Chain A
């Protein structure tokens, strides 16, 4: 079946530091990959996505590249801000695994200090 593994948090950084949150996946076919972000007390919202190998998703300074050879979709940002403090979820959608419904990772909490 499908699965998503994210690095455990919390990740604690100072403002303007470089961010990497690792995400690896297991899928039967060729999944679409997503990063969602959840700010405190809110629902999730899509941050970026990629639908095929070597695609790069980007939004608000965040980037992630779909790496089929390493089954990874790591999230990066060059300079984080305090306002980026949130929980980040990696997810995949692969109907060949039996359902199109996304499989989510457990989430990685990011804390950015001024």
Chain B
């Protein structure tokens, strides 16, 4: 079955540590996205990528980094510069970059700070 996988389901970060969240899709989609979800705040866009080897900052990119070396993979690194990383992180993909495109979401990773 095609879909998006995210791992791990739960991730714990210590002070000053960088952590990487995995996102893989086998839908052959060109575009991929990372969102952060906090209670009562909806989804906020961190980074997105429309094509391999290219990505753009979203609304809250500070303290995060991404790479897009393969079409199916879009890992997110939460760096030590992100002072409030506790949140639910959602990865999504879409066929292309046009209006009206449906986004397909992974199951999410919950990041907690020790």
- Residues of A whose CB lies within 8 Å of any CB of B are 31-32, 34, 36, 41-46, 49, 51, 89, 93-95, 100-102, 104-107
Bound-complex Cα distance A42 to B109 (A)? 9
| A residues in contact with B98, CB < 8 Å | 95, 100
Which residues of chain B in 43-65 are interfacial with respect to chain A, using CB atoms and an 8 Å cutoff? 43, 45, 48, 58
| B residues in contact with A32, CB < 8 Å | 99-100
Bound-complex Cα distance A44 to B104 (A)? 8
Which residues of chain B in 82-114 are interfacial with respect to chain A, using CB atoms and an 8 Å cutoff? 90, 92, 97-108
Task: Give a binary string over B1-19; 1 marks a CB under 8 Å from any A CB, 0 the rest.
Answer: 0001010000000000000
- The answer to whether A101 and B45 touch across the interface, beta carbons within 8 angstroms, is yes
Bound-complex Cα distance A75 to B43 (A)? 19
Given contacts A100-B98, A101-B33, A101-B48, contact A46 B103 (CB under 8 A): yes
- List the count of A-B residue pairs having beta carbons below 8 Å apart: 57
- Residues of B whose CB lies within 8 Å of any CB of A are 4, 6, 33, 40-43, 45, 48, 58, 90, 92, 97-108
Nearest A residue to B43 via CB reads A104
Given contacts A42-B107, A44-B90, A100-B97, contact A106 B42 (CB under 8 A): yes
- The answer to whether A105 and B42 touch across the interface, beta carbons within 8 angstroms, is yes
Partner among A43, A51, A107 whose Cβ is within 8 Å of the Cβ of B90 = A43
Bound-complex Cα distance A89 to B45 (A)? 15
- The answer to whether A100 and B99 touch across the interface, beta carbons within 8 angstroms, is yes
Q: For the A-B complex with A36-B105, A107-B40 known, give 19 more contacts whose Cβ atoms are closer than 8 Å.
A: A41-B107, A42-B107, A43-B92, A43-B106, A43-B107, A44-B90, A44-B92, A45-B104, A46-B102, A46-B103, A49-B102, A51-B99, A51-B100, A89-B43, A93-B101, A101-B33, A104-B43, A105-B42, A107-B42
What are the 6 A-B residue pairs with the smallest beta carbon separation, nearest first?
A43-B105, A32-B100, A106-B42, A44-B105, A104-B43, A104-B42
| A residues in contact with B104, CB < 8 Å | 45-46
